[in-house]
Amino acid sequence: MKRKLSIKYYLLLLFSIAVLGACDDGDVAVQSFDFEDQSLAYCDNDQSILFYVRNSSGTEAVLADLTVNLANLLSAGVLNYELAGNTNNVAYRIFNASAGPEYFCSAIPPTNPAVVDELTAISGRAEMLVVVNKDDLDGLASDDELPLDQDTDADGIFNYIDFDDDGDNVPTAFELDVFNADGDNNPLTNPLDTDQDGIPNYLDSDDDGDGILTVDEDLNGDLDPTNDFTDPNVGPDYLNAAVALSSPQPLYREHSYQVVSNIDLTLLDLVLTASGREIIKEVLFLGSIPSFLTTTVTQTPIRD
């Protein structure tokens, strides 16, 4: 016996067919936009930097090709890149298989995996938060050189990034607890204090207390007082109070410090389009890259 379909069942069947037909146009892949807890990576191009983040399966990715001036990353702050024109571009892609780092960093992208769907940004901006750590590598942590605006030798370089804090042309690292006799590996436990005036050598402009500035006890004029000896049995002249020979030096040694820049990248007010379709993301956090830029800044302060 044939069973008749109820009107209710028949209407439900028609509705289901209509919904399935509307969702499957044969062109558009399923979008998840799930990039949470995924790592932000990048590739260097000739004129720009390509940042990208993939979903956990590697089948979806957001790519942000930004023209970044690396000099702007030497200072902490927020940088904004408008997604308009030909200089800054963002795209969202879906692949037919997992796309690895080699896909994004190849000069000519490989044919596999294939891009089955792509939407590109027509507006929005990329916001880059830059956090900077600076270190003069003198053996002292920044917390040991507080306040951070302290400039003992008034050479225009704060102590925490000044490898010669007292401006005597002897590096701070050479004037701390260099012998570590107590074995605690703390450079401030017993810093050198040659003249026993209570001011450690690394902050004392006249280390031996002979009335001649250490920087001027440089008879050979090579900006290095550590290799000038009148009496080798005692040590260099700048540590020998019995020798008070002055050779005024007009210059400081070349200074350098290390800068490490960490970044967070976020897309804001993003509008992606393709073939009449549109995706809007008010906030899309792409991720963080610690130590994105590590460089050395070199300068020679002027001696008044």
pLDDT tens figures, 25-84: 444 455 788 898 899 999 988 789 999 999 999 999 999 999 999 999 999 999 999 997
pLDDT band at residue 16 using 50, 70 and 90 as cut-offs:
very low
> What is the average per-residue pLDDT within 239-263?
96
pLDDT for position 85:
66
The reported pTM is 0.80
In the prediction, which pLDDT does 302 show? Answer: 87
User: Where is 128: in which H helix or E strand?
Assistant: strand 115-135
Confidence (pLDDT) at 139: 92
- Identify the band that residue 106 occupies on the pLDDT scale cut at 50, 70 and 90: confident
Q: Is the pLDDT of residue 99 over 70?
A: yes
Residue, of 105 and 109, whose pLDDT is higher: 105
Average pLDDT, the chain: 89
pLDDT value at 155 more than 70: yes
Question: With 50 as the cut, is the pLDDT of residue 13 above it?
Answer: no
Q: Nearest Cα to 124, choosing from 68, 86, 84? A: 84
Per-residue model confidence as pLDDT tens digits over 268-303 = 999 999 988 999 999 999 999 999 999 999 999 988
Q: Are 270 and 90 in contact (CB under 8 A)?
A: yes
pLDDT at 4 over 80: no
Q: Determine the pLDDT at residue 19.
A: 37
Q: Identify the pLDDT of residue 15.
A: 37
Geometric angle at alpha carbon 134, from 198 and 191, rounded to 5°: 20
Q: For the chain, give every domain's residue range.
A: 30-133+260-293, 165-251
Can you give the pLDDT at residue 109? 79
Q: Answer yes or no: is pLDDT of 191 > 60.
A: yes
Indicate if the pLDDT at residue 22 is higher than 60.
no
Longest pairwise C-alpha distance within the chain: 123
Instruction: Tell me which of 12 and 233 has the higher pLDDT.
Output: 233
Q: How confident is the model at residue 167 (pLDDT cuts 50, 70, 90)?
A: very high
- How confident is the model at residue 111, as a pLDDT? 86
The percent of residues above 70 in pLDDT, for the chain, comes to 90
Residue the block writes with tokens 């590598």: 137
pLDDT of the residue at 24 = 40
pLDDT at 233 over 60: yes
Q: What is the dihedral of CA 55, 70, 134, 302, to 10 degrees?
A: 180
Which ranges in the chain belong to alpha helices (H)? 7-23, 101-105
**Lowest mean per-residue pLDDT among 62-66, 101-105, 156-160, 170-174:** 101-105
Taking the alpha carbons at both ends of the chain, their separation in whole angstroms is: 110
The rounded distance, in Å, linking the Cα atoms of 126 and 81 is 5
Q: In whole angstroms, give the CA distance from residue 40 to residue 260.
A: 18
